[in-house]
Amino acid sequence: MEAFCRGLLVAIVVTCILSPIKPVGASKNKGKKLPTEEEIHFTELIQNAIEYAEKAWAEDTLKKSESYKHGVDTKNQRSSDGQLSLFADEDPKGERLEELAYISLEATKKLERSSNVSISTIRSSKTWLKIWKTLIHAYCDKTKITCDPNALYRSANGSCNNLHHPTWGMAFTPQLRFLPPTYDDWIDLPRTKCHSGRTLPSARKISNTMFCEHDKLRIAKNHTIMVMAWGQFIDHDVIFTPLFKGANGSAISCCDKDSDQTRPECFPIEIPGDDPHFKNKTCMNFVRSTASPSHSCLPAPREQLNQVTSYIDASTVYGSSEKETKSLRTMKKGKLLTSKGGLPPAGKEKSCVLQHPKEYCFRAGDKRVNVVPNLSATHILFINEHNRIAKKLARLNRHWTDEITFQETRKIIIALMQHITYREYLPKTLNADHMSHYGLNYYPGNYNNVYDPSKNTGTRNSFAAAAFRYGHSQIPPTQSVLAEDHITYKHYPLEETYHKPFLTQEDKGKNVAGLLRWLSTEPTTCNDRVFEPQVRDLLFLDKKGNSFDLPAINIQRGRDHGMPCYNEWREWCNLPVAKSFEVREGGLVDHDPVCAGLLKKAYGHVNDIDLYAGAISEQHIPNGEVGPTFACIIARQFHAYKYGDRFWYEQVDKPTAFTRAQLKQIKKITLSKISCDNFKIRKIQKDSFTTISPSNPLTDCKTLPKLKLRPWKETIAQTKKKHGSNY
């Protein structure tokens, strides 16, 4: 009887889904189509798959509660696991999206297994898709967006930048891909298999083979540590991939003696028995990235969530939601909140690792503000630059409201960040050929109308999880402070500063100037396969001696995200594909013999090489800081950031554009001048990204071009005309 009732219910449901809506007054029987047996069968399969997924989510939620209850998952931010969780902290909104994605993915996998029909076949059937979208509707992201095409300023969350596709580049949307994922099950299981079908070598074993010769570290001749620091700051502006959290926001442990390594959130890294650093340990904790529900509501492979906007829009300073932005403002004269010494305001006590009673955790537009002092210093620099400009604009236009002053200042800060990135930073990473080919060159004139509404700025997975992590090999072993005479007077081993704000808070923030001086003076290490022990063995070191390996995490993250192998990216970039480990035609033509030999030692087949390991060990393109594979991915992504941004700072599209006089002022500014204007720095070289030399000498800050704000002066009538009823 139960089966009969269920079958009858399914028939009614599928009839409702597939029957066309009848016009008023039409015959009750006219146009009604009875479902076929196949349609009824498929509806039942989908219903069963969704019920299975809902049950799996409930069971997993219960397991998380049990793990927290028994102390497997903890909220100890001082532990290495806790610090990693802090670095990739999931937002409450992300938690809801995680549930939607989990159920959709589990239902997709169950449906594929029970129907013996591939997802691609299901996606190509209009009937099946209609039933799927109707039944799975509750677990789709149903965010509704209404755009104002006349808005003068970009939104906080990135929505409506593209008026035809309002969610493009928006926070809390799926990361995009240049190439489809290669999951083990083609849906969401991490890539673990070799070309031969064998299990891939451990990410830590590859790290031990490829990245450990720190005695062979090479110093870059021309570039300062600011190249690494700015890359990190911009990375955090365009990508934030959160990790799964346990119950009550706890850090998930996949390596605890009582933990279950088969938990869907876990993908631990095997530590070899002969590991030179991690003695008597077999497992390195690794928690998978949070999945994102599909906006299309289609059955699809797992995509990772991006919690921040995919625009270079200073979300590191202002946040990626209207609520977050307001929480960082004074709501008076356009200024941002600060504490003593121009430092960021205090955040939650457990959002960093405090060592003394007077210390506090910073709160900024990005949660990762506390991770290392050099990153905190860059945040502090732009918070202060915002307030410096806002103060002057408020005096210049005393009739402006707080909102107008804030938005105009924010617009200038975003323009400065875009200008510095494309004028000063990118040319140090890529070479002239790549800059020219992908349209990334600095335009010395006024306007440069580049906006293309068909370009999606969305941050690509391969850029976030591999290519733009190239700077990890440039991370220095210390965090240092330089006095005015450019002699180091304070330095700390990097592992002693992770998530600890003491260095930036000492002496009411006076160390920030010294940190910036150090970043713009000290030569950086080369971007290559060699990593400092502070990141390869001692990442997020805790008092119990637990820590992580950053390059191993990068390799494992690529597998977690279903990242295609190195050779597939070579083909996509129109580069020669390797068929052997030889350094000759048909082999690893962009590697030197030593690196090619190490790759052969680490991998059994060239088609097994992970993107990160293969590309980070390539020889650099001429006059660039990366090899050809990473150069290809990085250039294409920055092309999207520029050409897909309707509010790009050089745009001629009025009234959102700068005036010619305003744009002329912005294009004069360098990062060095911003440092001079906000801290007691008297001398600095014009280019902070290039080491001091006869062609880039230390110079008096007063000689550097100044941002003159007179072009922003408005009459009351001009302001009323521009802002209308909003003024």
Provide the annotated active-site residues.
236
Taking the CB of residue 493, how many other CB atoms lie within 10 A of it?
13
Residue 9 confidence (pLDDT): 46
Distance CA 268, CA 549 (A): 12
Spatial CA neighbour of 167 closest among 286, 316, 306, 22: 306
- What pLDDT sits at residue 460? 99
10-residue mean pLDDT profile of the chain (727 residues): values are 46 49 46 73 93 96 94 92 92 90 95 88 86 89 89 97 97 97 95 88 97 77 95 98 95 84 91 95 96 88 97 98 98 97 94 94 97 98 99 98 98 99 97 96 87 98 98 95 89 96 92 96 90 96 96 98 97 97 96 97 95 98 96 99 98 89 96 95 96 96 97 95 84
Q: Tell me if 653 sits within 8 A of 646, measured CB to CB.
A: yes
Q: What is the pLDDT of residue 1?
A: 46
- CA 576-578-580 angle, to 5 degrees, is 150
The predicted structure's pLDDT at residue 26:
45
The predicted structure's pLDDT at residue 34: 66
Is residue 490 within 8 Å of residue 480, measured between CB atoms?
A: yes
| Predicted local confidence at residue 124, as pLDDT | 87
Q: Which among 451, 240, 249, 432 has a CA at the least distance from the CA of 350?
A: 249
Domains of the chain: 38-179+291-306 (no CATH), 212-239+312-529+617-726 (1.10.640.10)
What secondary structure does DSSP assign to 572-590, as a single string? HTT-PPPSSSSSSTTS-TT
pLDDT of residue 33: 66
E strands, 210-304, where? 219-224, 269-270, 283-284
Comparing C-alpha atoms, which of 676, 650, 665 is closest to residue 708? Answer: 665
Question: Considering only CA atoms, which of 705, 708, 712 is closest in space to residue 670?
Answer: 705
DSSP 280: T
What is the model's pLDDT at position 21? Answer: 40
Give SS3 for 287. Answer: strand
The amino acid that residue 505 corresponds to is: Q
Q: 223 is written with which tokens? A: 């570039």
The pLDDT value recorded for residue 183 is 96
Three state DSSP letters for 284-310: ECCECECECCCCCCCCCCCCEEECCCC
The amino acid present at 609, given as its one-letter code, is I
Token pair for residue 551? Answer: 């390059």
What residues are paired with 683 via a beta bridge?
700
Phi, psi torsion values for 337, nearest 5 degrees: -70, 140
What is the β-pairing status of strands 488-493 and 478-482? Answer: antiparallel
Token pair listed for 260: 């279950």
Check residue 297 and give its pLDDT: 85
Query: In this structure, are strands 478-482 and 305-306 parallel, antiparallel, or unpaired?
Result: unpaired
pTM: 0.94
Q: Is 434 annotated as a binding residue?
A: no
Residues 6+ apart with CB under 8 A from 131: 14, 17, 18, 39, 42, 43, 46
Q: Which two tokens stand for residue 560?
A: 């977690």
Measure the CA–CA gap between 714 and 655, rounded to whole angstroms: 14
